[in-house]
């Protein structure tokens, strides 16, 4: 109850700020992220370790600068959440550009199930909205502890089209069935995984526990895997969702090789916009047997 009460002013602020022009809202968000950075010591430490492990070629000053840019982008993505929750379809269609939709449509027209591989970049929710405005999609949803935030997130996910929200408890069978009904699956498989659900493959040269769901689901459904990346555009210009061509020869049957391919592709995209990846996540929390937890 108390957590809901504490959330009300914040939700009201997000609702009001969404009326601002996006360049102004983006500038306020970047300033908020930089302002709050000194006060989130634990998350700042997580970001610092992630960047040190993933970018050892950068000196400490360069990594600090990247961390500052990350928190600025994080603040922007947070304040723009209200726009995604409440702004009109017309405004969102103007602010979220979509490139490569023909690749998705070609697979759907051919009657093939589709997995949209959507890594955890800060524009992820904007990309999900753009896809949902065009297609009835499937996505995974984890209930939030705060009931007010949970209702808002659910509303944001379901406000366009006829969406199917699954939990991890629904399992592979339910996901495959939904994909075979012609719905693309907006899938986010790139965070730390528990040891029993993962294989350890390199991520920026560091052994990382990585979920095996992508090749397993692709094989079970006979699905095409299409990379799906959302970029926050500079200067408050909005977002760009890029949908790539379907990966060829995927999956191969070698789960470890298939997951390594996903991580290698992801590294390349991250290097093109490193401040926009979700570095506050404890990506290396699960370690191989015998290694201490780093966080």
Contacts of 36 by beta carbon, 8 Å cutoff, 6+ apart = 71, 75
Q: What is the mean pLDDT of residues 86-113?
A: 96
Q: What is the mean pLDDT of residues 78-104?
A: 95
Residue 106 has pLDDT above 60, yes or no: yes
- What pLDDT was estimated at residue 3? 43
Residue 114 has pLDDT above 50, yes or no: yes
Q: Please state whether the peptide bond connecting residue 251 to the residue before it is cis, i.e. omega within 30 degrees of 0.
A: yes
Residue 2 has pLDDT above 50, yes or no: no
pLDDT band at 166 (very low <50, low <70, confident <90, very high): confident
Q: What is the mean pLDDT of residues 259-264?
A: 98
Q: Per the confidence metrics, is the pTM higher than 0.95?
A: no
In the chain, pLDDT over 90 holds for what percent of residues?
A: 77
- What pLDDT was estimated at residue 165? 82
Report which of residues 219 and 150 the model is more confident about: 219
Q: What is the mean pLDDT of residues 267-279?
A: 98
pLDDT band at 1 (very low <50, low <70, confident <90, very high): very low
What angle do helix axes 60-79 and 41-54 make, rounded to 10 degrees? Answer: 130
Contacts of 169 by beta carbon, 8 Å cutoff, 6+ apart = none
- The C-alpha atoms of residue 76 and residue 220 are separated, in whole angstroms, by 38
Tell me which residue of 229, 216, 243, 218 sits closest to 278, measured CA to CA. Answer: 229
Residue 34 has pLDDT above 80, yes or no: yes
pLDDT band at 283 (very low <50, low <70, confident <90, very high): very high
- What pLDDT was estimated at residue 130? 96
């Amino acid at each position: 109850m108390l957590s809901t009460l504490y959330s009300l002013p914040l939700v009201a602020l997000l609702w009001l700020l969404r009326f601002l022009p996006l360049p102004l809202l983006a500038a306020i968000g970047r300033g908020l992220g930089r302002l709050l950075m000194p006060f989130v010591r634990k998350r700042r430490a997580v970001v610092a370790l992630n960047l040190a492990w993933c970018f050892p070629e950068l000196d400490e000053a360069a990594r600090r600068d990247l961390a500052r840019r990350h928190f600025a982008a994080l603040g922007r993505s947070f304040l723009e959440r209200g726009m995604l929750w409440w702004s009109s379809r017309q405004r969102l269609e103007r602010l979220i550009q979509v490139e490569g939709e023909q690749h998705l449509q070609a697979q759907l027209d051919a009657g093939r199930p589709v997995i949209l591989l959507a890594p955890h970049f800060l524009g992820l929710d904007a990309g999900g909205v753009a896809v949902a405005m065009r297609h009835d999609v499937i996505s995974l949803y984890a209930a939030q502890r705060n009931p007010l935030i949970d209702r808002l997130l659910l509303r944001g996910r379901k406000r366009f089209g006829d969406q199917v929200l699954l939990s991890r408890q629904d399992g592979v069978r339910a996901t495959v069935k939904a994909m075979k009904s012609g719905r693309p699956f907006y899938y986010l498989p790139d965070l730390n995984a528990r040891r029993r659900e993962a294989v350890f493959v390199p991520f920026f040269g560091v052994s990382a526990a990585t979920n095996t769901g992508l090749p397993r689901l692709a094989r079970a459904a006979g699905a095409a895997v299409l990379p799906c990346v959302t970029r926050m555009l500079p200067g408050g210009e909005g977002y760009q969702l890029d949908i790539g061509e379907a990966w060829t020869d995927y999956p191969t049957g070698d789960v470890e090789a298939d997951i390594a391919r996903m991580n290698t592709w992801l590294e390349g995209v991250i290097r093109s916009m490193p401040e926009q990846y979700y570095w506050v996540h404890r990506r290396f929390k699960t370690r191989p047997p015998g290694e201490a937890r780093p966080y």
